[in-house]
Amino acid sequence: MKKIELEIVALSHSITQTHSYAVVLGEINGLRRLPIVIGGFEAQAIAVALENMQPSRPLTHDLMKNFMNAFNVDLQEIIISDLQEGIFYSKLVCFTENDTVEIDSRTSDALALAVRFGCPIYTYEHILENAGILMEDGAPKKNKGESVGIEERGGNTDDLSALNLEELQTLLNEVLEHEDYIRAISIRDEINKRK
């Protein structure tokens, strides 16, 4: 299967949903976004690395990187390899001078390590097709080298089941314009449920 390269374009926090965050991955040279809901600790681990913060003591992902470096293990890439019942599955592709090994990982941990190692993030077409969101050409995009936005958004409690498909698509476009990826995930799931 052909791999599609992604980059982290945003980290969003929903004020109304306790401990609910989304890391948003964008297709390099493409318009699709892949929002993934993660926990607060995982979001913090990713944000610390993205912002090049230096905690006084190593965080768990820093410890993992230090351990891998001590034993000459390099993280070559991560692959978001599967999506089952709304859960993303990932693999760490690790390289030593003698071997290449794929290690099962939670996607949030894989992303936290990818940021620390500066390695590429990949997924497959079927995952982007099932869980991705297409951004319109005029939608805001992250430019290469631009820092990732860490945002706070309030949720909207509209009842999605009362809307028809056309209204849902319109609402999805509106929330994407405001980069409210947490809400976009709910709307995308409602649209997919009806197809």
Pairing relationship of beta strands 121-124 and 3-14 according to DSSP bridges:
antiparallel
Q: Is residue 133 part of a domain?
A: yes
Instruction: Determine, yes or no, domain membership for 102.
Output: yes
Inside any domain, residue 184 = no
Residue 127 zone, left/alpha/beta (φ > 0; ψ -120 to 50; rest): alpha
For 56-107, how does the pLDDT look when each residue is reduced to its tens digit (9 = 90+)?
888 899 999 999 999 999 999 999 999 998 899 999 999 999 999 999 999 9
Q: What is the mean pLDDT of the chain?
A: 83
Q: Which residues pair with 93 in a beta bridge?
A: 77, 102
| 122-136 average pLDDT score | 91
The answer to whether 91 and 104 are in contact (CB under 8 A) is: yes
Residue 171 lies in a domain: no
Domain containing 118 equals 3-157
Instruction: Return the pLDDT at 150.
Output: 42
Domain membership flag for residue 60: yes
* CA nearest neighbour of 160 among 187, 126, 122, 127: 187
Is residue 84, in this structure, part of any structural domain at all? Answer: yes
Query: What average pLDDT does the segment 145-155 reach?
Result: 41
**Domains contained in the chain, number:** 1
In a domain, 34, yes or no: yes
Here the tokens at position 142 are 């992250």
Cβ neighbors of 132 (< 8 A, separation 6 or more) are 27, 32, 33, 34
More confident residue, 6 or 51: 6
The enclosing domain of 110 has a CATH number of 3.10.690.10
Inform me whether the pLDDT recorded for 154 exceeds 90: no
Q: Is there a domain that residue 162 lies in? A: no
Confidence at 192, pLDDT banded by 50, 70, 90: confident
